Structure 1
Amino acid sequence: MSTAAAPPSLSLHRPAVTATSTRVAAAPPPSNAAHLASLDKLFRNRGGVESAASPAVAAAAPQRRQQPLLRLPSFFTRTGARGQEPAPTLSPRRLERLLQPVAPDGPSPRGDIAAAWRRLHGEDGWRGLLDPLHPDLRREIVRYGEFVDAAYGAFLSRPDAEPGRRARVPLQDAAYRVTAPLFATSSVGLPTWLAAAAPCAGQRTSLVGYVAVCDSPAEIRRMGRRDIVVALRGTCTVLEWAENVRAGLVPATHCDTAAATAPDTSNAKVECGFWNLYKTAGDRSASLSEMVVSEVRRLLDMYKGEEVSITVTGHSLGAALAVLIADELSGGIAGRAGAPVAVFSFGGPRVGNRAFAARVEARGARVLRVVNAHDVVPRFPPGLPLPGYADVGRELRLDSRASPYLRPDADAACCHDLEAYIHLVDGFLGSHCPFRDNAKRSILRLVKNQGGNVKQLYMSKAKDMRIQLDGGGAADMAGSMLGRVDMPGAASTVVECVH
C-alpha cells in the first residue's frame, strides 16, 4: 500500500517559531514575586477553573524528592549538592498546564492516519518525520508510551501476580482489549536462606507486560488497520536486575523463524541476561518468547484476511525485550503472514552485536529508539571493545534540558523515567526548536513522580493550588489528577494469568 509520494496528511515542513516562543528574551525578566502576583490575579479571574481547584483537598505535603518505584537503583541517583537554580521565566500558558486535568477533557486530537499509517509505522525508516517531528508521529509515540505505562501499573498493583491468578491492566485506550498477560522468568535465583527471608525478592517469574488488540471499528478506520500491541515494562525486581548485569554476548537463535534472511545470522549475538529473561520458562508458565508467539499467532489467525500491524513497545528492560520479540516475529509468523512489525522503545539499552542489528533490519522489523541525551541506560552495554554492542534502528534524540519544567541538573532517575520521556516527546518540535508551547499532556504526573527535579517555581505553585503531591488520603481529586493519565474512555481490563 506504499505510494511514491508522501500522503497529503504528512506535510513535512519545519514548524515556524512564532513570537510566542519560550526562548528567554534579551531583556531581563520581571521579578518572580511580581510575576507570581500577576499569575495569582489570573487564576482568581478564572472563575470556572478556580472553583474546581479551590475545595479543601488536603494540606500540601512537605516537598521531598520522589523516585520512581523500582525503576532505577538508588546508586544511580546523584547525591551531591545541586548548583544554584537560575531564576526561570514563567509564562501563564505554561503554568496553566497544572490546571488542565481539572477542566473537562475535550475531544481526542487524533487525526485520520489511514492513508499514512505505513510511513508512521516505519515502512521507510521514518524518513523525513523525525526532525522536525511530525505531529501524527508524535501522537503515536505518546500513545504507545501510555501502553507501557499500563504495563507498569499492572505490575505495581499486583507484584505477586503469577499464572493462574487474575491481574488488572489499567489500559488507558478504550479502543484496545487486553487478550493475554505476559510473564518473564529469571534464569538465576537467590540462595535458599535469602529466598525464605524475602519471598518477594526471590520471585523468579513476574508479570512483565501484556498483548492487546484494537477492537473499535472507529479506531480501526482511523488507523487504517487493526493493530496488535505488545507492551513491556522495565526492570522492577531484584532478579531482573541480576540478569541486567550479565553483559556477555550469547548466540540468538529462535525456533520459530523462517529460512535465514540476513547476512551472518550465525554470528548474531545478544546480551546474556536479556536472552535468559526472554527464553527461560517458569515452573508454572511458558517462556516470554513462547507466550508472545502463541498469542500473536492466535490473533493473526483470528483476523486473517484483514490489514493487521504488530507494534511492540517497551521502556528500559522492556525496550530490550521488545527488540528480541520483533526479531523473532518478523523472522517467523509475522513475516509469513505479511504483518509489518515495528518497535517504539523508550530509554532502552543496547541489545546485541552488529550482526544482530543487521538481522533485525533485514527481516523487516522497524525500530524507533526514543533516547534522552542525558539518560545513561541507552549507553550500556558499551560498544567497545570491538566486536561489541551496536544500536538497532533509528533514533529520536531528545534533551531533558530543553524542557521548561525540569531542572537542568535533573538526576539520573528523572532522565530515565518513562513519564519524563513521554513529557519530552509531547513537547518536542525539532532539534533546533523550542519546547512546544501547545503541548497537551498534563505535567501533574511529572510533578508527582519527579517533584525534586521539577523547577521550584512550578512546585510552589502546585502547593499553592493545594495539590497533594503524595496522593491518596482525602485528596481524591488530586489522586485522580496525579495518578492517572487524563484520557476519555480510560478503563482497566482484568485478565486471567493463564499460560
Structure 2
Amino acid sequence: MEAKMATPRGVAMKRVTMLRNGTKKTKWYWKLKFGIRLKAIRSAISSSLHNQRRRLTCSTAIPTNTPVNGIVSPLVVHQSRSSSKKNELRLAKPLASLLRMPLRAADFIDFGNHMTPTLSPRENISAVWRDLHGASDWDGLLDPLHPFLRREIVKYGEFAQATYDAFDFDPLSEFCGSCRYNRHKLFNELGLAQNGYKVTKYIYALSPVDGPDWFESSKIGEVWSRDSNWMGFVAVSTDEESDRIGRRDILVAWRGTVTPTEWYIDLKTKLKKIDRSDKKVKVQRGFLTIYKSKDEESKFNKTSASEQVMEELNRLINFFKEKGDREISLTITGHSLGGALSLLTAYEAGVLFPTGVHISVVSFGAPRVGNLTFREKLNEMGVKTLRVVIGQDIVPKLPGLFVNSIVNKLSLVTGKLNWVYRHVGKELRMDMYMSPYLKRESDMTGSHNLEIYLHLVDGFVSRKGKFRWNSRRDVALVNKGSDMLVEELRIPQFWYQLPHKGLIKNRFGRWVKPGRNPEDIPSPFSQPSHV
C-alpha cells in the first residue's frame, strides 16, 4: 500500500444553546477531521530530507554486460519507468538503499575500517585490450562508458597526474624544476605501485626564453639546472600486470605547463614543419620547441626531450621483441601541454616503429597540435587517440579559439584547408556540471584541472546520464590543487602540499629547509633501469 496522507473529511455537528426566555437555539456547522497514517508521516519526512540533499542526488546503479567471446560489450543503460517523485529517497526503503547515498561531510571523517575503498576492482582484460585501446575506434564503448575502459583511462590519468605531484616547483628550492624522488621510488611515494609499472627513464626538456628575471622559476643562485625541467618519464608494465592486460605495455607520461617559460612558449601558435620528408605536416611551434630543443652547454639537455624518449623506446622495444614472450603496446598520456607532447611522441614513434607495436594516446584537456596533414598522417600510421575533454575547459579549443570554430562549422567548404589546426582522434566529452560534488560557478582554471578530469571520468556513465552513485575514486582529490568542491563537503582548498611547506625541525630545534637524500638528487649521468 502506498504511503500517503488521507484527505480531510467533513463531519456534520450541531450546537444547542439555551436562551434566556427558555427556548433552545440549534446551530449546525461542519467540523473537519484529518486522518493521518504512519506511512504519511514517513513520506513527509522523506520528502524533506530529499529536498535538503537534492544537490547531491546521484543516479541509481546501472547494470553492465560482460565480455562475450573476447569482445567488449557496451554498457546498457536502463531508463527508469517510474516518475522522478517515485525515485525520491524514502526512509521506508531498505538499509541497502540508504548506503547508496552520495558523500557528505561526515564521510570524510575517519571512522575506521567500514569506509568504502577508493579503488575499483581490476579485471583481467587480456582478451579485449585492443578494443580498449582503439582497435575499433572505441565504437560503442564511450557512450555509455564501458567500466573496463573507465578504469584504464583513470589509470593512465593518474600516471599523468604523477608528473605534477612529484614536480618540485618551490622557487626557494635549489632543485626547483626537478622531480622530488628518484625513478626507483616514484610510484611508491605517490601510491601508484599497485598499478604494476616500473619507471625506466626520466625525461628532461628545455624551454628557451630570453626574458626578464621573473621568467626564471628559481629565486636562488645555485640550482641543479638553470635551463632544464623534469618533463615526464618512461615506464614499462611488470610481468604480473602484463598478464592482466594481455601485452607488454610501454608507457610515456608527459607533464603539462607549469613554469613561466613554458606558458610563454605555449603562446607561439605559428605552424612549423615537423617532418623533413613531408613539408606539409606542420604542428604548433611552441610545443615543438619544448619537444625538440637542446643545448650542448646544458647538463640535462645535451639531447632533446624527443631524442631522450625515442632512444629509450627503441631500447625497450628491441629488448622485448628479442624476448618475444608477449605483444608490445606503446601508450602515451599527458594533460594539457603533456597531451600535445603525447601526439608529437606518437608521430615520431609511428615513423620509427611502423610495425609490430600498437600505439595509442590517452590525453586530457589537450589543445590542438597540428594541421590536417598531421592528423591524416597519424591516421595512416594507425595511431589511436582518445581525447578526454571537459566542455567548460577552454584549452581544448586552442589554438585558434574563434577562427577554428568558424572554419569547423563550415567544414564542407573549408575541409581541405591545411593552415587550420585540427584535433586528432576520438573524443570523450564530459560536462563539469554533471557531478553533484562540484561547484556550479564558472572557473576556467578549475575546469582544466587534471584531478577534476579524473573525478568526472570515474563518475561518467553517459552524456545524458547522471553521475554514478557507486564511483570509487576519492572525491577529496578534486581539491588537491583547486577549490572546486561544494562547501557542504568541508574539504580544504589546495590541500596538497609538503608538511610545514617543506620545513623540518633539526636536532637543535630550528626550522630549516632539508637537503635531499643523495639518491633523489638529479644527475645527468644516471642510466636507464634494466628490464
TM-score, reference length from structure 1? 0.72
Q: Which residue of 1 aligns with 2:108?
A: 98
Partner of 1:86: none
One-letter code of the match for 1:301?
N
Instruction: Describe the SS at the equivalent of 1:92.
Output: coil
Aligned partner (choices 250, 260, 263) of residue 241 of structure 1: 263
CA distance in 1, matches of 2:391, 2:307: 34
The answer for the alignment partner of 2:450 in structure 1 is 418
- Matched to 2:242, the amino acid is I
**CA deviation after TM superposition for structure 1 residue 450, in Å:** 2.6
1:30-69 to 2 correspondence within 5 Å?
A: none
1:367-397 per-residue CA deviation (whole Å, 9 max, x = no partner) reads 1000000000000002536531010111000
Which one-letter code corresponds to 1:235 in the other structure? Answer: T
Query: Higher mean Cα deviation, 387-396 or 186-195?
Result: 186-195
From 152, 164, 184, give the equivalent of 1:140.
152
In structure 2, what is the Cα distance between the partners aligned to 1:109 and 1:101?
23
Q: How does 1:54-453 map to 2 (within 5 A)?
A: 92-95=101-104, 98=108, 103=113, 105=117, 109-156=121-168, 160=176, 166=182, 169-170=186-187, 172-174=192-194, 175-191=196-212, 203-215=226-238, 217-253=239-275, 265-282=278-295, 283-284=298-299, 285=301, 286-304=303-321, 305=324, 306-333=326-353, 335-336=354-355, 338-382=356-400, 384=404, 387-451=419-483, 453=484
Deviation at 1:16, TM superposition (A): 2.5
2-structure distance, mates of 1:203, 1:128: 48
Deviation of 1:24 after TM superposition, in Å, equals 7.3
Q: 1:307: how far off?
A: 1.0
Alpha-carbon contact 1:181-1:496 (below 8 Å) kept: no
Report the Cα offset of residue 410 of structure 1. Answer: 3.9
1:98–1:443 contact (8 Å) kept in structure 2: no
Task: Give the Cα–Cα distance (whole angstroms) in 1 for the partners of residues 274 and 340 of structure 2.
Answer: 13
Q: Which secondary structure does the structure 1 equivalent of 2:102 belong to?
A: helix
1: CA distance, partners of 2:393 / 2:360: 23
With 349-358 and 198-207 compared, the bigger mean Cα shift is at: 198-207
Is the Cα–Cα contact under 8 Å of residues 202 and 239 in structure 1 kept in the other structure? no
One-letter amino acid of the structure 1 residue matched with residue 330 of structure 2: I
Unpaired runs of 5+ residues, structure 1, are 36-41, 47-90, 255-259, 476-491
CA distance in 1: counterparts of 2:147 and 2:182, whole angstroms: 38
Return the letter of the residue paired with 1:238. P
Q: Distance in 2 between matches of 1:194 and 1:312?
A: 29
Distance 1:435 1:173 in 2: 28
Q: Tell me which of 48, 59, 76 is aligned to 1:14.
A: 76
Alignment partners' CA distance in 2, 1:394 and 1:194: 36
Whole-angstrom CA distance in 2 between matches of 1:302 and 1:101: 49
Q: Matches of 2:152 and 2:472 in 1, distance apart? A: 14
Once the two structures are TM-superposed, the CA of residue 400 in structure 1 deviates from its matched residue by 0.4
Deviates more, 1:372-381 or 1:126-135: 126-135
C-alpha distance after superposition, 1:133-177 (max 9, x if no partner): 1100000000000001111122237853569x9566345134111
Is this contact kept in 2: 1:181–1:495, CA < 8 A? no
Q: Using the TM superposition, name which of 308-317 and 275-284 deviates more.
A: 275-284
Of 470, 486, 489 in structure 2, the residue corresponding to residue 458 of structure 1 is 489
Give the aligned CA root-mean-square deviation in angstroms. Answer: 3.8
Q: Which structure has the greater CA radius of gyration?
A: 2
Q: CA deviation at 1:203?
A: 3.7
* 3-state SS in 2 of match to 1:111: coil
Q: Letter of the aligned partner of 2:457 in structure 1? A: V
For residues 312-357 of structure 1, the C-alpha deviation after alignment (integer angstroms, 9 at most, x for no partner) is 0000000000000001101213x24x11110000000000111111
Judge conservation of contact 1:279–1:288 (CA < 8 Å) in 2: yes
What's the TM-score once normalised by structure 2's chain length?
Answer: 0.67
Distance 1:270 1:473, change over 3 A: closer
Shift of 1:107: 7.4
Residue by residue over 1:196-251, the C-alpha shift from the partner in whole angstroms, topping out at 9 and shown as x without a partner, is 97768994310010000011x22111100111110011101111111100000001
- In structure 1, C-alpha distance between the alignment counterparts of 2:478 and 2:215, rounded to whole Å: 36
Question: What letter is aligned with 1:156?
Answer: D
Q: CA deviation at 1:93?
A: 3.2
Give the number of aligned pairs: 402
Matched residues in 2 for 1:426 and 1:327: separation?
29
Q: Given residue 266 of structure 1, which amino acid in structure 2 is its aligned partner?
A: K
